[in-house]
Amino acid sequence: MVKLRTHFLILFCLLLIAFNGTLTNAQSLYTLTSLGQVQPSDINDSGNIVGQISNTSEAFLYSNGNFFILSGTASAAYGLNNAGQSVGYSGSPSHATLYDSGAVIGLGTLGGTNSFGNAINDLGQIVGYAYTHTGIEHAYLFSNGAMTDLGTFGGLRSFAYGINNSGQIAGTAQYASPANIYRAFIYNN
């Protein structure tokens, strides 16, 4: 067994030496670009990236090698569509926010203090979650200027994380029984 391992190790070393040039060239198949101390959240088809700057807690857009601050401190961008619109939150208390061509547009809440935008599709429909007047989080759909509560599917809480261009929404909901269990959902309007 030791003899077999030794032969394998020698063969492996010979292969490394023989193919060193080929293995080195394989590394050039991709480019790794450091963006610094940021937390990226989404990327669109154009390669634009949104997220949050780690040390300042500011929402950012990275486009064509440049960083753009979308909002001041206490903000983040989580979703980005192919039109360049992004969503996240800004302010304290936090409010779901649409970042569109330099404008920072508040989306409101479901009667509570905080809301967060998680995703936006190419039609401009936004999903996320917001606190109700009772202080409980509910998934929402923001479309045509209105925030619609998607409910909780019988439980206490729900959260929407993604929306595609067909309007299907993916998220999680806390079910009533068994208590405190979250299950994934797909919402079709």
So what's the pLDDT on residue 27?
Answer: 57
Residue 39 above 50 pLDDT?
yes
Mean pLDDT within 95-121: 97
- State the SS3 of 3-31: HHHHHHHHHHHHHHHHCHHHHHHHHHHCC
- Listed by start position, the domains of the chain span 82-187
- State the SS3 of 85-103: CEEEEECCCCEEEEEECCE
User: Residue 60 and residue 39: Cα distance in Å, rounded?
Assistant: 9
The pTM score is 0.83
